[in-house]
Structure 1
Amino acid sequence: MPTSPKKNVREKKRLQLDWRFVQRFLSIQKVLFPSWTSQSVLMFGTLLVLTLTEQLIIYQVGILPSQFYMVLADKDYAAFRNLITLAILLILLNSTLKSLDQYICSQMYVGWRQSLTENLHADYFRGRVYYTLNVLREDIDNPDQRISQDTERLCKQMSNMASRIIVSPFTLAYYTYQCYHSTGWMGPVSIFGYFVVGTISNKMLMGPIVHTLFQQEKLEGDFRFKHMQIRVNAESAAFYRAGKVEHMRTDRRLQSLLQTQKRLMNKELWLYIGVNTFDYLGGFLSYIIIAIPIFTGIYDDLSPGELSALISRNAFVCIYLINGFSQLIDLSTTLSDVAGYTHRIGELREAMADILRRQCDYDPASGDNYDFDSDFNIHAGPADTAFVLDRLSFRSPDSDELLVEELSLKISQGRHLLVVGNTGTGKTSLLRVLNRLWEADSGFVQMTTCFGPRGILFLPQKPYLTDGTLREQVIYPLKDIYPASGSVDDERIIQFLELAGVSNLLKRTGGLDEKVDWNWYDVLSPGEMQRLCFARLFYLQPKYAVLDEATSALTEEAEGQLYRLCKQLGMTLISLGHRSSLEKYHDVSLRLCGGGRWELTTLKENGADDGHVIEDTGL
């Protein structure tokens, strides 16, 4: 969605390596390291021990050339042979430690990704957060990408940085001491000054990269979403022969993404130049530092062999110290990636926390945190009432015009309500307010019966089919099969599939628990999807069924059969629809007239046939 220039300025200032980044990064670390006894802390400690041991081995390998100079200058064959053996053992040990280092980093990456993703999922699927983020909030782009892709990349980059970062303080301190011992104060001071200049330069070069990376990830999500949109709606687009226009619009998103990637590459070019320049200059700096004590005559009393050994040892110490600083500078590009992903994930976490704070004053009976499997027979609130509305007014979140004004209504058990009105008058919007998906503009609305089986269930206008087996489609949204997978439950499911008119799905899927490798939306017709949703409704058997155009794809005869079955199973119906044939199954009609106006009338007794269509199920 387009944003105002002021918002863009604020966003650009925010997405830097600043205090806000530090706060977001530390909040993520609390998720990755929840306690001192957590697995992440133990693995981090093990990695520290391994890397320190690895550095000790590297130091021994690094000073071997100086010993070779001495042995070869003295032509000592026995000592040379021992050095070769020692070198092979040290190299094998170092290779093993380095491999373990990489293995632990990989394990940490998997553990971090699991912890952070599950933490995001816990808030994302709590209450109606996922709905608010995807439908009502415009400031958070592509929450799905932030959870799946950005989280993976952040954890990957952090695991790549881990071993180098945790060992750096120890190696820098140790080699600073060794460098001072070999070259005096001039060596460490020169190297530290060199590092400070490099850090400042790279900080200036990284600033613009973080914001551009943030924008690139947003456009990546937009481009992927466009392809997902075409995949989901391929048939509808094909009926419109819309290949050319979708091609154009998809290419447009691709071009926007590639232009941002090019801008990012241009900015990264200067960072790469700076990093590589400091890497190569570091090699020359080590020789300059070594040359100072040599040209000042400090080592004039040494023989050529001893001087060569000393130069080799000092060169290793100085070069390794410079290399330690250079590695930190090399992390600049990785750090800019980490900063970009940290801002995107941190921004998402803050938005979800804000949504949850706004939801905290909801009536507990609304069922925002209802556990469908906790108690299949739960009851809450007055036994004969579902909703109480008192002078309720509401509007669309993106409009200033009231859809309904000061509506007062009590929806009670046994009084079936039909909501009618022209398109755009707010019928489905009323259900959103009742289900607490939208906030009321004024007035009062209360759900006085629990949400879920034996309480209130909604059948949305677009049938929702989850992934999984036929059994999982019928029992949705139960997490587990109730009362248990077995002959009794199987008989109930099969009976309700027959009553809903989709028993043929048993043959097409191969049974209730056979996994299918196709998309339900691609295989079922609109009518079959609606019938399957009614089979779900029959299985869950709520006291109140809220139906939003739930039979629009069915014939009036099929519609009547399903409505009669709902009433015979004890459900009180709250229906939205355009067909006049629906009136015979309801007692009260609420007509939304537009402009906030509404009419409530009692329907005439019409003697609709509610006779037995099904046998007693014993439920």
Structure 2
Amino acid sequence: MSSEGGHARLSSDSKYSFDIVFIKRFLRLFRLMFPRWLSVTSLLSFFLLLLSLLEQVIIFNIGLLPSEYYKVLGNKDVDGFRSNTIKAVLLILVEAFMKSTILYVSSVLYVTWRSMLTVALHRRYFYDIIYYRLNVLDKAIDNPDQRITQDVDKLCNFFSLIIAPLIISPFTIGYYVYQASVRTGYIGPVSVVVFFILATIINKFLMSPVVRSVFHQKRREGDFRFKHMQIRVNAESAAFYRSGVTEEKKANQKLHDLIKVQHKLIRRQYALNFSIKAADYLGSILSYIAIAVPVFAGSYDSLSAEQLSALISQNAFVTIYLISCFTKLIDLSSQVTNMAGNAHRVGELFEVLGRLKDAQSEDYSFLEETMPSSDLVPLSDVNLDTDREFLEGAADTVSQTNMALRLQDVTYGPPKSSQILCRNLNFQLESGINILVTGDSGCGKSSLLRVINGLWSSITGHVARGSKAVFYLPQRPYFTDGTLREQIIYPLRSDECVQHDDKMYQYLDLVGLKYLIDRIGGLDVAVDWNWYDELSPGEMQRLAFVRLYYHQPPFAALDESTSQIGVNIEEQLYRQCAELNITVMSVGHRESVRRFHDMELHLDGQGGWTMTPIRQDVINA
């Protein structure tokens, strides 16, 4: 779900740069990526570093090959040329093997890290109803779906590419500084180090703006992607309005916002790329300047032409490779900025999920309290008509153990809003007493179910739950991906429940959906379609009742659950609830549902409410 409404609550751009905030966020991710010293990722990383160091040894020997060729060619040494060529071929093949192995290990690390971080995010994201609070109520960050599916992927990919060069660079730089000082004196290594420090300082100032731009580009990418996902999910509804022109303008506006940010990112990357490329080429010139000093000073005048050429070749390789070690670090700036931008987004998501989890734990601290019953009159004490054949097997008396929930002086309204939907609501849901919640649209009927379920917090008062669970059928039934069986047993998994195929067939036949078996091919046939595209609204509501019957809970809350179903089937559905001893609390407008309920809770939309009996003498009419 898009979170544009939450964009205004984001911090300023200065929040996303190379600073203490980035370090804290990255260290938290680092601990998840390396949970133990002997974890798989730790061992793979050590192996990757070992391979990278061995590769440097091979590269060093390959770099000395030209000087050997200068000698053997200058002296016309055929045997030396042959052995040098064999050595060169072997070294090149070993280097190719090492390079390929390094890339393979890096890819394995990337995939493993992605799995670990995504699983860690899923554990927090799907904790109870955190995903609902993040997408619907809190909206503190943009596009959590993009952060989980894409930003984690790019973070792990970039980090797998830069971890080895970043760690082994101090070792290779130290080694080649020593080699350069032996061959050219202090002038060569000192000039290279000074050059690198200056380039690093310049790049530091150029990288932070790029990090911020990468962060905001990801956000706009998510907004643009969500717009197209919105059209894909609601294509038929939009088509009825013939709203192509309007949606085109809205989609183009999202694209315009994205392109605008991308242009800003490109401009900032231009300056960074100029600095990186200038450092690369100036570094190559600097290497020859460092070599020229001892040559012009006469330090090698005693050598022959062949020896001097070989020595210059060796010195050139050492100094140039030292420059290369530094410039590789500078070249990594682009990947580091991308990694940092994604690290900010993923780290921020972890922070918000942690905050929401702590807040939810506090909310639940009072939802689970046992409320005193002295101020409430049980609905079973109300004088109701005794003709209730549709409630076969219902208990004549209601005890505390048969209570689903109790509301005491509950005042509620939309989160982060001053609007009051209902004040000081008192009632309890007991076994055998069906309640019908009525009122005009927008008066707070569905909101009451959200408060009862814990999706919303009440402003005042308490919601106490009894020992019996309540099964909810939301206004729009939810269907996951998977088989027909998985839709029926949801939210359970196949390995969590006993197979009751006969009951499933019976209930599908009862609601008029037995043809789905033939259409799909069976309960366990995998389908790749979207259930919302394949089923009509009425079919979805009837399938939701099959799910209800399968679970057979003692209590159920139905939110307009028969609004798309005919009156005759509606009667069958409610009678089946009675046969299964399911006490229902229904939100509904249709007059036809009244006769299946004992009490009416009416909300007037102004904060007031009444609880009155419903006459049952029309049940047999």
1:291-330 alignment runs, 5 A limit: 291-330=292-331
Separation in 1, partners of 2:184, 2:329: 23
Q: What is the match of residue 112 of structure 1? A: 113
Q: What is the match of residue 372 of structure 1? A: none
Q: What is the match of residue 436 of structure 2? A: 418
User: Deviation digits for residues 347-383 of structure 1, max 9, x if unmatched?
Assistant: 111000000001113548979xxxxxxxxxxxxx953
Conserved in 2, the CA contact under 8 Å of 1:51 and 1:167?
Answer: yes
Matched, 1:524 2:535: yes
1:7-26 alignment runs, 5 A limit: 10-26=11-27
Q: In the alignment, which of 451, 454, 459 is matched to residue 473 of structure 2?
A: 459
1:172-251 alignment runs, 5 A limit: 172-251=173-252
Conserved in 2, the CA contact under 8 Å of 1:366 and 1:448?
Answer: no
User: Deviation digits for residues 233-271 of structure 1, max 9, x if unmatched?
Assistant: 111111111111111111111111111111111111111
Conserved in 2, the CA contact under 8 Å of 1:404 and 1:594?
Answer: yes
Q: Which AA in structure 2 matches 1:608?
A: I
Q: What is the match of residue 52 of structure 1? A: 53
1:425-444 alignment runs, 5 A limit: 425-444=443-462
1:529 aligned counterpart, secondary structure: helix
User: Deviation digits for residues 473-510 of structure 1, max 9, x if unmatched?
Assistant: 1111111255444xxx1111111111122111111111
User: Deviation digits for residues 30-73 of structure 1, max 9, x if unmatched?
Assistant: 11111011100111011111111111011011011112212222
Conserved in 2, the CA contact under 8 Å of 1:363 and 1:446?
Answer: no
User: Deviation digits for residues 211-252 of structure 1, max 9, x if unmatched?
Assistant: 111111111111111111111111111111111111111111
Range with bigger deviation, 502-511 or 472-481:
472-481
Distance 1:217 1:294, change over 3 A: same
1:390 aligned counterpart, secondary structure: strand
Conserved in 1, the CA contact under 8 Å of 2:7 and 2:142?
Answer: no
Distance 1:82 1:68, change over 3 A: same
Range with bigger deviation, 66-75 or 227-236:
66-75
Aligned residues with identical type, % of pairs: 46
Separation in 2, partners of 1:543, 1:607: 25
Conserved in 1, the CA contact under 8 Å of 2:7 and 2:140?
Answer: no
Matched, 1:254 2:272: no
Matched, 1:512 2:512: no
1:402 aligned counterpart, secondary structure: coil
Range with bigger deviation, 163-172 or 149-158:
163-172
Q: What is the match of residue 370 of structure 1? A: none
User: Deviation digits for residues 262-300 of structure 1, max 9, x if unmatched?
Assistant: 111111111111100000000000001011111122222
Separation in 2, partners of 1:473, 1:428: 23
Q: CA deviation at 1:182?
A: 1.2
1:344-423 alignment runs, 5 A limit: 344-363=345-364, 383-423=401-441
Q: What is the match of residue 590 of structure 1? A: 601
Matched, 1:571 2:582: yes
User: Deviation digits for residues 155-194 of structure 1, max 9, x if unmatched?
Assistant: 1111121232232121111111111111122211111111
Conserved in 2, the CA contact under 8 Å of 1:31 and 1:115?
Answer: yes
Give unmatched runs, 5+ long, in structure 2: 369-398
Separation in 1, partners of 2:283, 2:199: 11
Q: Which AA in structure 1 matches 2:486?
A: E
Distance 1:482 1:283, change over 3 A: closer
Q: Which AA in structure 2 matches 1:435?
A: N
Question: How well do the aligned residues superpose, as a CA RMSD in angstroms?
Answer: 1.7
Distance 1:24 1:40, change over 3 A: same
User: Deviation digits for residues 522-556 of structure 1, max 9, x if unmatched?
Assistant: 11111111000000000000110100000000122
Distance 1:463 1:214, change over 3 A: same
Q: Which AA in structure 2 matches 1:462?
A: R
Q: What is the match of residue 149 of structure 1? A: 150
1:411 aligned counterpart, secondary structure: strand
Q: CA deviation at 1:398?
A: 3.9
Separation in 2, partners of 1:301, 1:482: 86
Q: What is the match of residue 445 of structure 1? A: 463
Separation in 2, partners of 1:134, 1:53: 49
Separation in 2, partners of 1:447, 1:306: 91
Q: In the alignment, which of 541, 549, 561 is matched to residue 550 of structure 1?
A: 561
Separation in 2, partners of 1:2, 1:279: 44
Separation in 1, partners of 2:363, 2:142: 26
Range with bigger deviation, 291-300 or 502-511:
291-300
Q: What is the match of residue 507 of structure 2? A: 496
Q: In the alignment, which of 465, 471, 483 is matched to residue 469 of structure 1?
A: 483
Separation in 1, partners of 2:174, 2:22: 27
Separation in 1, partners of 2:184, 2:56: 22
User: Deviation digits for residues 56-103 of structure 1, max 9, x if unmatched?
Assistant: 011011011112212222222111111111111111111111110011
Separation in 2, partners of 1:389, 1:227: 42
Q: CA deviation at 1:446?
A: 1.8
Q: Which AA in structure 2 matches 1:458?
A: Y
Question: Which runs of at least 4 in structure 1 moved beyond 6 Å after TM superposition?
Answer: 364-367
2:584 aligned counterpart, secondary structure: strand
Q: Which AA in structure 1 matches 2:462?
A: F
Matched, 1:65 2:66: yes
1:140 aligned counterpart, secondary structure: coil
The number of residue pairs the alignment matches comes to 588
Separation in 1, partners of 2:303, 2:428: 102
Distance 1:195 1:125, change over 3 A: same
Range with bigger deviation, 64-73 or 476-485:
476-485
Separation in 2, partners of 1:158, 1:410: 55
Q: What is the match of residue 275 of structure 1? A: 276
Separation in 1, partners of 2:620, 2:551: 24
Could you tell me the TM-score, scaled by structure 1's length?
0.92
1:547 aligned counterpart, secondary structure: strand
Q: Which AA in structure 2 matches 1:539?
A: Y
Give unmatched runs, 5+ long, in structure 1: 368-380, 611-619
Separation in 2, partners of 1:267, 1:449: 61
Q: CA deviation at 1:444?
A: 0.6
Conserved in 2, the CA contact under 8 Å of 1:365 and 1:449?
Answer: no
Conserved in 2, the CA contact under 8 Å of 1:366 and 1:435?
Answer: no
Distance 1:32 1:45, change over 3 A: same
Distance 1:292 1:382, change over 3 A: farther
